[in-house]
A = this chain, B = another copy of it.
Amino acid sequence: MASTIKDVAKEAGVSIATVSMVINNKADHITMKTKKKVFDAIAKLDYKPNLTARSLVSAKSFTVGLLVPDITNPFFAELAKAFEKELSKEGYMTLLCSSFEESEREKQYLSELISRGVDGVVICSLTSMETQILDALKQAKIPYLILDNRYSLEQFSVHVDDYKGGVLAASELLANGHRTTAFIGSKTPYVNIANRLQGFQNEIERAGGAVLTFKTDLTRSGGETISEELFSSEATAVFCSNDLIAVGLYDAANKRSLALPDELSVIGFDDISFSDIVKPRLTTIKQPVQLLAEKAVQHLLLMKKDPDYHFYKELIPVSLVKRESVTKPAHV
């Protein structure tokens, strides 16, 4: 069997990217010692890069961009960890791009990734409604997919079943006897958040209940900001569009000595690693982060390999994680 670039890399004790750079004369920064190792391995294994393979190889930067809103949201930290781990198995490195939900930053980062000729981009943050930047990615023939918030914009998307998540949250609250409920969404109109609300609202209203809706930032301080309005409403239970908002409500409840869950039941979304250390331990809808990352990487690499590869969307299931933050309403 003919030897491959992988065999050469293994024999030389270097990465595939290094071998690629050496055989494509892009090895300015590589030491002579390393180059010699690669040439020795090529000679020993009688490796013959064919022209097609070479052109494929040389078109690779072995780099993928990951655009996230905020790496300090544990959900995105966990996603980035899993994503980087999956990619590194294939010899790719991850460029971390945090947008802080600023459209300008997102656009700048995406332009920058295009000019660097990255091998792919996973977009977990897209505040802007303008799709020119996606067109620019297409034009540059850079595979990309949308993960999470704006998946309606694209056929290439990997995301969880947000609608089902809303239904599960509603069922849990209904089973505990809640009828007047609240939903905390985001100020920026995201599709995933809208679907969580839709599932929640349909299920609550089907049972004759009501949903009061609130909007805030998708952060811990966003939860704290909206708390006053929420606490003075009629709602006996609240479904938060992410766990960080729920933590912000806990902060506010602590300051006002509002007893959770007795005076207000709370359900989150994400199941970040800290959701089981807050008191009361947070009941939430779990997103399987590892699976999301694996699927994103799989599709991206297939898209890179075959420009005609196409998928509509990859829908990942969610589940309810029952802990201690939901109980019966005080006045029932």
Assess the B93–A93 pair: CB atoms within 8 A.
no
Assess the A117–B28 pair: CB atoms within 8 A.
yes
A234 to B117 Cα, complex, angstroms: 60
Assess the B220–A115 pair: CB atoms within 8 A.
no
Assess the B111–A15 pair: CB atoms within 8 A.
yes
Flag A77-108 by CB within 8 Å of B: 1 or 0 each. 11011001100000001111110000000001
Interface flag for A71 (CB, 8 Å): yes
Pick the interface stretch among A155-163, A189-197, A272-280.
A272-280
Interface flag for A202 (CB, 8 Å): no
A88 to B17 Cα, complex, angstroms: 25
Pick the interface stretch among A29-37, A120-128, A167-175, A308-316.
A29-37
Assess the B85–A81 pair: CB atoms within 8 A.
no
Separation in Å of the A243 CB from the closest CB of chain B?
11
Within 8 A of B (CB), among A1-25: 14-15, 17-18, 21
Assess the B80–A115 pair: CB atoms within 8 A.
no
Which residues of B sit under 8 angstroms from A257, Cβ to Cβ? none
How many subunits of this chain does the assembly comprise?
A: 2
Contacting residue for A98 out of B29, B74, B84, B117, CB 8 A: B84
Separation in Å of the A155 CB from the closest CB of chain B?
23
Assess the A117–B72 pair: CB atoms within 8 A.
no
Assess the A70–B81 pair: CB atoms within 8 A.
yes
Flag A231-256 by CB within 8 Å of B: 1 or 0 each. 00000000000000001001100000
A180 to B81 Cα, complex, angstroms: 39
Assess the B77–A139 pair: CB atoms within 8 A.
no
Assess the A72–B273 pair: CB atoms within 8 A.
yes
Contacting residue for A115 out of B21, B112, B247, CB 8 A: B21
Assess the A115–B74 pair: CB atoms within 8 A.
no
Interface flag for A114 (CB, 8 Å): yes
Assess the A17–B112 pair: CB atoms within 8 A.
yes
From A139, which residue of chain B is reached at the shortest CB distance?
Answer: B31
A94 to B71 Cα, complex, angstroms: 13
Across the A-B interface, give the 9 residue pairs with the lowest CB-CB distance, nearest first.
Answer: A29-B117, A279-B279, A96-B96, A18-B115, A77-B77, A72-B77, A30-B115, A94-B96, A71-B77
Interface residues of A (CB under 8 A from B): 14-15, 17-18, 21, 27-31, 34, 63, 66, 70-72, 74, 77-78, 80-81, 84-85, 93-98, 108, 111-112, 114-117, 136, 139-140, 220, 247, 250-251, 273-274, 277-279
Q: 12 pairs across A/B with beta carbons < 8 Å? A: A15-B111, A15-B115, A17-B116, A29-B114, A29-B116, A29-B117, A31-B139, A34-B115, A71-B81, A93-B97, A274-B277, A278-B279
